[in-house]
Amino acid sequence: MARYTDAVCKLCRREGEKLFLKGERCFGPKCAVERRPYPPGMHGQKQRFRRKMSDYGMQLREKQKARRIYGVLERQFRRYFYDAVRQPGQTGENLLRLLERRLDNVVYRMGFADSRAQARQLVTHGHFTLNGRRHNIPSYLVKPGDVISVREGSRKRTYFKEIGEHMEGKAVPEWLEVDPTTLTGRVIALPERHQIDIPVNEQLIVEYYSR
């Protein structure tokens, strides 16, 4: 299973904004974007004074930003786009809706993990059940009515004992519901665009792939 293994803080610096890829660290003084607000590399500081970005450059940056937020590589991201094209409605919104429906993203949104990368690892290691059955595929697309729970054997672990106490203060999107006492969540409906709070202009992504 291919995945990005380099320092994720470089990705935030490259995009010039926080993508919240490392959970709580992104809110503290150790955040790389706060300490070094310029792209990584030996010419990073000079890039802050470059000429105005082209239309293609803006489209590319939005596409890369969305990929990095959800932790998806190019080949899979392109496949999501073509699936979104075939669905009725606006392609950009369909694309974000597909990405939000990924099981690792839903686990993150429910508050079971501090980041999508951590959620992906927890799912891969088999700590969750989907509709009562153990499930370890992070890219699985959930649907309304699906129930995600921490596996019975995993609830004894220190991590899940502690996270139940912190989940009560976390905001959960309207299209999901969570019960911190039972470590269980349910998908109520498909997400709408106004419920997806990522800083991405999806229309630029559509323009990038429509060239």
CATH for 102-187 (3.40.50.300, 3.30.70.260, 3.30.930.10, 3.10.290.10): 3.10.290.10
**What is the number of other CB atoms lying within 10 angstroms of the CB of residue 132?**
8
Asked whether 115 and 12 are in contact (CB, 8 A), the reply is no
Please give the class, per CATH, of domain 9-99+197-209.
mainly alpha
Asked whether 114 and 8 are in contact (CB, 8 A), the reply is no
The answer on pLDDT for 30 being more than 90 is no
Helix (H, G, I), strand (E, B) or coil at 195: helix
Predicted confidence (pLDDT) per residue in 181-193, tens digit: 899 999 999 999 9
CATH 1.10.1050.10 location in the chain:
9-99+197-209
The answer on pLDDT for 9 being more than 90 is no
CATH 3.10.290.10 location in the chain:
102-187
What is the pLDDT, as a whole number, of residue 124?
A: 95
Predicted confidence (pLDDT) per residue in 99-147, tens digit: 999 999 999 999 999 889 899 999 999 999 999 999 999 999 999 999 9
Could you tell me the two tokens for 100?
A: 């939000």
Q: What is the dihedral of CA 181, 183, 188, 190, to 10 degrees?
A: 140
At 114, the amino acid letter reads D
Higher pLDDT pick, 164 / 48:
164
Q: What is the dihedral of CA 35, 40, 45, 50, to 10 degrees?
A: -130
The answer on pLDDT for 4 being more than 60 is no
The whole-chain average pLDDT of the chain stands at 83
- Please, which residues bridge with residue 135 across strands? 128
What is the pLDDT, as a whole number, of residue 33?
A: 53
Distance of CA 142 to the CA centre of its chain: 14
What is the pLDDT, as a whole number, of residue 90?
A: 95
Predicted confidence (pLDDT) per residue in 45-68, tens digit: 555 545 677 889 889 989 998 998
**% of the chain beyond a pLDDT of 70:** 75
**What is the number of other CB atoms lying within 10 angstroms of the CB of residue 144?**
11
